[in-house]
Amino acid sequence: MSGTEELLVEADGLAAELDRADPPTLLDVRWRLAGPPGRDDYAAGHLPGAVFVDLDTELCGRPGAAGRHPLPDPAALQAALRAAGVRAGHPVVVYDGGDGMSAARAWWTLRWAGHRPVRVLHGGFPAWIAAGLPTSTEPPTPTPGDVTVAPGALPVLDAGEAARLAAADEGVLLDVRAAPRYRGETEPIDPVAGHVPGAVNLAAPEYVDAGRFPTADALRERFAAAGVAEAAPVGAYCGSGVTASRAVLALHLAGRPDAALYVGSWSNWVADPARPVATGEAPGR
């Protein structure tokens, strides 16, 4: 599955789909790294029929050595998705507060879990509001779904695989954090500053702007400028695997459905003090 029309949906198009007899399942996954909880935003107003799903507790595992947002337990994820009304083979649309980060991680998680028909509302909740479309404060009572989680449908990197990709002559590991974090000048969250040796920095503004993606051609040009060759392996990481999910979505839009996510990202890398750390602008192979 690739192409903007299959991965993203615009607000007006989604509104038309919601008027159908069997509309897509809507998941509100609004989230902020430093809070407050997205559930508060949901309670204040959400797309009619949307069910809130919490990124931290339902779409990810418990934080620890595997990272701040590790892979979820498949059984727990399946229970959460079924409770939200996700049905096998039935379309799902996810949306967030507009930056595309948590929606992309939700999109990635569902695709990783084997549920292919999932799209992101382009521009998130602000795009819906800007289009003058209705909202609700009433939480729905979804009919329980029957989705079966089958992990592994999207490629994942662990620390060793990320290191090998970063060091390879062919292929690239993208570090999509802000440049000062990549260079090791600052680290507001994790205990060590720097980057995976060999990783190439490509901060988010290069491939997404205010939660909206440029054309596939523009994305291909920007990724190519960062060293992403057409047939060579590519992976992405960030601080905890959320922002990097947005990069993986952008890579899918650019025609690279093989792009891998280092889910543990920097928070997993620095959990082992034996792993090397590079600083400065150069990849540092």
Q: Where are the beta strands (DSSP E) in 145-221?
A: 156-157, 172-175, 200-201
CA dihedral sign, ordered 142, 148, 151, 153: negative
Tell me which residue of 162, 198, 194 sits closest to 181, measured CA to CA: 194
Tell me which residue of 213, 266, 274, 275 sits closest to 238, measured CA to CA: 266
Do residues 82 and 146 make contact, with C-beta atoms less than 8 angstroms apart?
A: yes
Catalytic residue list contains 60: no
| SS3 call for 82 | helix
CA distance 239 to 193: 11
Strands of the sheet with 260-262, listed across from one edge: 156-157, 260-262, 234-237, 172-175, 200-201
Q: Which of 29, 60, 173, 238 is catalytic?
A: 238
Active site residues: 238
